[in-house]
Amino acid sequence: MAAYECPVCNYVYDEATGAPREGFAAGTTWSDIPDEWPCPDCGVREKIDFEQKAG
């Protein structure tokens, strides 16, 4: 499973844990997140701006 980070506020979406407060259960893959989904912490960036974390 991969993790993706917002370049502005460093919020991390981790596929393993999902984002329950956003409606994404654990195991929800990045490809299943809508393209127009904004960063839930800063709201500034869209999914396309997130960067995959090395790991």
| Of 41, 16, 23, nearest in space to 50 by CA | 41
Pairwise pLDDT comparison (45 vs 8), residue with the higher score:
8
**Over the range 38-55, which residues count as b (16 or more CB within 10 Å of their CB) and which as e?**
ebeeeeebebeebeeeee
pLDDT tens digit string along 29-46?
999 999 999 999 999 778
Quick check: 1 and 49 in contact, CB under 8 A?
no
Q: Report pLDDT for 55.
A: 65
Q: Report pLDDT for 18.
A: 98
Quick check: 6 and 39 in contact, CB under 8 A?
yes
pLDDT tens digit string along 16-32?
999 999 999 999 999 99
| Boundaries of every domain in the chain | 3-53
CATH code for the part of the protein at 3-53: 2.20.28.10
Claim: this prediction has a pTM higher than 0.85 = yes
Structure tokens at 36: 């127009």
